[in-house]
Amino acid sequence: MKTISLKITVMGHVQMVGFRWFAKRQADILGIKGYAKNTSRGEVEILAQGDSELMPQFLDYMKIGPSRARVNRLQKEDMITDKIYDNFLIKM
């Protein structure tokens, strides 16, 4: 198992639709750690740490989002970080 960290930015109609809670639910199911937070630009930013084999499944969920969301674009970048998360947080 290789652990990787990704910064994921989700763009579209993704705030006020339960997207952060959706991300947490999927992360908890897959054992992904990190956080989800709203940005001032109307996006959702996610830092995801987890098994490299499970990350594509998590990304697929983030491309869809909860039923009331409309994801127009998803951007991901590899992250190098010393911070290790114990769980998946929803940041305000």
pTM of the model: 0.95
Q: What is the pLDDT of residue 51?
A: 95
Catalytic residue among 38, 41, 68, 70: 38
Rounded to an integer, what distance in angstroms lies between the CA atom of residue 47 and that of residue 33? Answer: 8
Catalytic residue among 20, 25, 73, 87: 20
Is 72 noted as a catalytic residue in this protein? no
Domain carrying residue 81: 3-91
- Annotated catalytic, 87? no
What CATH number is associated with residue 23? 3.30.70.100
Our count of domains for the chain comes to 1
**pLDDT given for residue 34 in this prediction:** 98
Burial (CB count within 10 angstroms: exposed 0-12, middle 13-18, buried 19+), residue 75 = exposed
* H helix or E strand, kind and range, residue 76: strand 70-78
pLDDT tens, residue by residue, 9-64: 999 999 999 999 999 999 999 999 999 999 999 999 999 999 999 999 999 999 99
